[in-house]
Chains A and B, each alone.
Chain A
Amino acid sequence: MGLLSEGSPLSWPETKRLAPHVQRHGIEQFINQFRRLKERRGDSLKWGDEVEYMVLRLNREARTARLSLRSPELLDQLQATERQDPSAAPSLWRPEYGAYMVEGTPGQPYGSIVSFFNTVESNMRARRREVEAILQPDEILLSITSFPRLGCGVFTDPPCYPTPTAGSSQSLFIPEEVIFPAHPRFATLTRNIRERRGKKVAINMPILVDERTPRPFSRGPVPERGLEPLTTERFVIPKSRYGSTDSYISECGRPYNDVKLVMDEDLLARLREGGIDDLLAAHVAHLFVREPISLFSEKIEQDDSVDMDHFENIQSTNWQTMRFKPPPAGSNIGWRVEFRPCEVQLTDFENAAFVCFVVLLTRVILSYKLNFLIPISKVDENMKRAHRKDACAA
């Protein structure tokens, strides 16, 4: 889950007009935060995990399973302890995109001693039980990546219907009510992504298209999406916001950076001037070719010496497999790395196994000084391969 700023969302044209403002100030905020923290050393290792769940309602007589759109009220209950005393909460709960989803993390991060590995699975079990305890009798909680019947007829409870000509997604398949309603971020992201593209997000299965029949989409002037030479936009970005990471930022990764990064040269120059090393500066300047896709009127003017919202705005709408995170403004949290390529698994056992494995692997690499780096272009290739059916066997 990304940045959840409170306030009134701006329209896409307004957001678009303010994009250079957000990008410029986001970079200043990053530089200031980096300067404040670059000498910070000797922190102990802390780590944790995030698991996303979805709530389903089963109707045993009708033999149906539908997404139960109750996450706003469930979250209200789940967050009750945290609201009173954040340090006493056994788990922390956050909304996710779907109104049928909740996202849970441990109440406190795990520490460096080995015995924490023994607690991960039981912590995940406890989290699952915490939600299950407040479900209605015919509801169940699953940790699966996507609901198999998403977009197929009536798949929600209460039953909702798509509105192809109204709402934020104007989807042919997904009703507006499926988007988490209690925070404007999600619907705003959806609307602005659609308006920015000048086209709905289309993830259609291959179908036979009759070229002579008029198509129902794309009426009116079509903004540039990089298919033809640009006239008003500045960049052609070869990959989507969702994708594998494009560069290594550590010194030992330098020789393996074989992919040319699309970068905003002015922002890059400003980062270098601000004392950021070339690898990190290139990474940030690359993230910042993206425009903000949601902006709140109350958050336009910020104090770059303390706020981080503009930086987080761009950072948290780049959904890459790895994320390097500066500490949030005004907290005692340290630098963080988010490892994001793993799909959520069905059971707590499997999820705990993945989480422990990743953390242990990092310790082994550091202890034995192993070098597993491969050219970043090969990482891209591997990620593409991994998406195939039966990828392991292929």
Chain B
Amino acid sequence: MSGAGESACSSRGEPLALGEVCTDLTMSTGNVISMRGVRRRAGQGTTEEMAVPCACYSVSLGEEEREPLSITVKLFPVGLDTDAVRQAVERALTELSVKQVEAIVLSNPLPWEEMTLDQLLPLWRVLEQFHAQQKVAYLGLADVEQSLFEAICQCDQVEVKPSLLQINLTNCCSVPDDLRDFCRQRDVQILTHNDAQEVLPGAVLRPLLSKHLALAEPQRWSLVWSLRYLVMVQHKGVIKNKGYIVHVARS
């Protein structure tokens, strides 16, 4: 966890006191795959995995990892702020001490039917910039309407087209045939997921903050972005590392 440029580590002991100067805060779960207690909740759901308090951790992939790894980052921005998306990606790269990730998937921050192409494009351009800097190889989208997905794939202003599409299958059980064909023609991989629309609701976040941090006015703090990273051993289907990073700010 780090706030206002300082690094700190919350253990199960006393809540961490934060001064008035602290206006925003980034918290990280560490590797949820290797932690006792968390392991038992792993796979239950995104919210459950994020809400587990944990001791100090190390996630840096460092130099000693010999196996080729493949890293996917899924971003859950709260609104349409492009800075939040940029900050989240930078933070993921720093956290994992890597120069490049395999894929970044952007989760639609708005309700399914409200998102428009004009609202999506600025966020997408941020990801395209990371792609241009060779910090990410593939880009993807989650939970966008079929028409919007087709629009961004066909949009002339979009240089890097999505290579991945994630669909939440909680409420429906099969991918529409025309979407499947559209993706096949464009070499887009369709995957399903079970992340909630709101991955870390205020009702879960605020009690957690109050429990671990001595905040003057907890109700003024809210989520800005969160992300999940998943580090797989390439071509083996084995998870090496999985964790969440959450960024909150005081209004």
Asked whether B68 is an interface residue with its Cβ less than 8 Å from the other chain, the reply is yes
Whether the pair A115, B189 counts as a contact (CB closer than 8 A) is: yes
Point out the residues of chain B lying under 8 angstroms from A366, CB to CB.
236, 238
Whether the pair A368, B33 counts as a contact (CB closer than 8 A) is: yes
Whether the pair A363, B68 counts as a contact (CB closer than 8 A) is: no
Whether the pair A115, B190 counts as a contact (CB closer than 8 A) is: yes
**A328–B211 CA distance with the chains assembled, in angstroms:** 60
Whether the pair B236, A112 counts as a contact (CB closer than 8 A) is: yes
CB distance from B83 to the nearest CB of A (A): 32
Query: In the complex, given contacts A114-B237, A368-B39, what are 8 additional A-B residue pairs having Cβ atoms less than 8 angstroms apart?
Result: A44-B235, A113-B189, A115-B189, A363-B239, A367-B238, A367-B239, A368-B33, A369-B34
Whether the pair B236, A45 counts as a contact (CB closer than 8 A) is: yes
Seen from chain B, the residues whose Cβ lies within 8 Å of a Cβ on chain A are 33-34, 39, 42, 67-68, 189-191, 234-240
Whether the pair B235, A114 counts as a contact (CB closer than 8 A) is: no
Whether the pair B39, A42 counts as a contact (CB closer than 8 A) is: no
CB distance from B227 to the nearest CB of A (A): 20
Whether the pair A363, B238 counts as a contact (CB closer than 8 A) is: yes
Given contacts A114-B191, A115-B189, A368-B33, contact A45 B42 (CB under 8 A): no
**A367–B43 CA distance with the chains assembled, in angstroms:** 12
Asked whether A255 is an interface residue with its Cβ less than 8 Å from the other chain, the reply is no
Q: 10 A–B contact pairs at CB < 8 A?
A: A42-B68, A42-B235, A112-B237, A114-B237, A363-B238, A366-B238, A367-B239, A367-B240, A368-B33, A369-B34
Point out the residues of chain A lying under 8 angstroms from B237, CB to CB.
45, 112-114, 363
Of B33, B189, B236, the most chain A CB neighbours within 10 A belong to B236
CB distance from A34 to the nearest CB of B (A): 22
Whether the pair B39, A111 counts as a contact (CB closer than 8 A) is: no
Point out the residues of chain A lying under 8 angstroms from B234, CB to CB.
44
Point out the residues of chain A lying under 8 angstroms from B33, CB to CB.
367-368
**A363–B236 CA distance with the chains assembled, in angstroms:** 8
**A339–B235 CA distance with the chains assembled, in angstroms:** 20
Contacts of A339-394 to chain B: CB distance below 8 A: 363, 366-369
Point out the residues of chain B lying under 8 angstroms from A45, CB to CB.
235-237
A-B pairs, top 6 by smallest CB distance, nearest first, are A44-B235, A367-B239, A112-B237, A366-B238, A112-B235, A363-B237
Point out the residues of chain B lying under 8 angstroms from A43, CB to CB.
235
Point out the residues of chain B lying under 8 angstroms from A111, CB to CB.
235
CB distance from B123 to the nearest CB of A (A): 25
Point out the residues of chain A lying under 8 angstroms from B34, CB to CB.
369
Point out the residues of chain A lying under 8 angstroms from B236, CB to CB.
44-45, 112, 366
CB distance from A351 to the nearest CB of B (A): 20
CB distance from A278 to the nearest CB of B (A): 26
What per-residue 1/0 map shows which CB atoms of A36-49 lie under 8 Å from chain B? 00000011110000
**A369–B67 CA distance with the chains assembled, in angstroms:** 16
Closest-by-CB residue of B relative to A363 is B237
Point out the residues of chain A lying under 8 angstroms from B238, CB to CB.
363, 366-367
**A368–B240 CA distance with the chains assembled, in angstroms:** 8
CB distance from B228 to the nearest CB of A (A): 15
User: A115: which of B68, B191, B235 is its contact (CB, 8 Å)?
Assistant: B191
**A367–B241 CA distance with the chains assembled, in angstroms:** 8
